Amino acid sequence: MIFKRKKIGVISLGCDKNRVDTEKMLAILGAENITSDISQAEIIIVNSCAFLESARKEALETVFDCNEYRRNGKLEKLVLTGCLPQKFIDEIYDELVEVDVFLGIADYELLPDAIELAYSGQRVNFVGKKDWVEKTERVVTTPLHYAYLKIADGCNNFCTYCLIPKIRGRYRSEKIETLVSEAESLGNISELILVAQDVTRYGVDLYGKPQIVPLIKELSKLENIQSIRLLYCYPDMITDELIEEIATNDKVVKYVDMPLQHADDTILKRMNRKGTASEYLDLIKKLRSKIPNIAIRSTFIAGFPGETDEHFANLLDFLKDARLTNAGFFAYSREEGTPSYNYDGQVDEDIKEERVKKLYAVQKHISRIYLQSFVGKTLEVLADGIDYDKQAFCGRAYLSAPEIDGVVYFNSNGEVCQGQRYLVKIEKADAYDLYGGVEDEFAE
């Protein structure tokens, strides 16, 4: 096959779920062909995100930038995969003349055939040829001690602002045995991070009821997996059984990422989100009472259509009451094709931005106080690497997921190895990060 003789560069855009897809593509193509120097790649694959207008813009800019390597580099064939072609192939096929091959979210097992056809002179559109990826082999692109495990794809929640169900289709879980064997094949992993659009719904489609707890139990039996972290839990689906499992399973990190999106009941209804602000507060209380010291992170959208000053004030009050460990805030993005695109009461961009800033200011204060509470205490920290700017090692305690939360910067008199755990005495905190020194290497 021609692609086996070519250098291939891959650019993965968007979320960690997309990253897992990219890792499966790399395994299909063979790691030995992959180059990290895009200028030297003869084939470039852009795995795109299209969830928001800003993501689509980024994908298009990446395609145009890569196309420059036809003149300035070695590029022969440009491949566009993922969410952008999946949803918008009719709009982009004629426009994006730079692209030689289009593949959707589940078509990438056809990459070798598609590339072969492109080298025979054809322009290839394989979008929608397949609806599920059977391959589970991956070339992991995260630092070797942690990896994501995508346990399902698609979503049935139909939040009124979100394009994902239209791009990725209805919720579809991977079988427990397939996920266990995929996790086993990853090698020694200090932290396995479970991801899906909604992790808590795992298994409903296959087994008739949520199976996230049985899945966690099975993954916990694997000797190569030291710990398991859950991202993207839908509040309504955080059952007592799941709380009990997080509380009692030593391998499960005492951390929950639970996107709430808003905390005013009127806005939540307009968003088609289940639950109310008071139910969310009750859930947070329950999580804290059953799992002492649990870290709870969330995300919120400001400026949803119809959000008045009063609705926004309710969100601010909620934040002050909930006292979350960490939170991310986003200005509402008006996406054509979603129900809320046509809602009245669209909020001005500058008001949205101002509200996002206010939310960050409140959360910053809360996070600073929360992180200060660790000063003088010792935390178990998973070493991620070295931060040369800070002249310190960096790692994460249980309260931080990679890339979205703060880190622990620390010094050590002894050797520090990536992927090992250390006991770090915390000496200082700011609103985002902790600082300290190694007390002792954690006995693993």
Q: Which of 164, 213, 246, 324 binds ligand SF4 (CB under 6 A)?
A: 164
Cα of first residue to Cα of last residue in the chain, in angstroms, is 45
Near ligand SF4 by CB under 6 A, which window of 113-121, 161-169, 390-398, 404-412?
161-169
Q: Which of 155, 267, 331, 356 binds ligand SF4 (CB under 6 A)?
A: 155
User: Which one-letter amino acid corresponds to residue 317?
Assistant: D
Spatial neighbors of 49 by CB under 8 A, at least 6 apart, are 13, 14, 15, 18, 55, 56, 58, 59, 82, 83, 84
Site membership for ligand SF4, residue 50 (CB under 6 A): no
Q: Which of 118, 162, 230, 359 binds ligand SF4 (CB under 6 A)?
A: 162
Near ligand SF4 by CB under 6 A, which window of 127-135, 152-160, 172-180, 242-250?
152-160
Please provide residue 125's backbone torsions phi and psi, each rounded to the nearest 5 degrees.
-125, 100
Site membership for ligand SF4, residue 86 (CB under 6 A): no
Tokens of 315: 């969100």
- Cβ proximity to ligand SF4: between 148 and 409 the closer is 148
Site membership for ligand SF4, residue 198 (CB under 6 A): yes
Site membership for ligand SF4, residue 158 (CB under 6 A): yes
Near ligand SF4 by CB under 6 A, which window of 150-158, 372-380, 392-400, 425-433?
150-158
**152-153 and 408-411 as β-strands: parallel, antiparallel, unpaired?**
unpaired
- Cβ proximity to ligand SF4: between 13 and 155 the closer is 155
**Euclidean distance between CA atoms 64 and 70, whole angstroms:** 11
**Euclidean distance between CA atoms 51 and 166, whole angstroms:** 10
Q: Which of 47, 173, 197, 211 binds ligand SF4 (CB under 6 A)?
A: 197
Instruction: Give the chain's largest Cα–Cα span.
Output: 66
Question: Total residues at the site for ligand SF4 (CB under 6 A)?
Answer: 9
DSSP string covering 148-211, please?
A: EEE-EE--S---TT--HHHHH-S-EEPPHHHHHHHHHHT-SBSEEEEE-SSGGGTTHHHHSS--
Site membership for ligand SF4, residue 18 (CB under 6 A): no
Site membership for ligand SF4, residue 314 (CB under 6 A): no
Binding site for ligand SF4 (CB under 6 A): 155, 157-159, 162, 164-165, 197-198
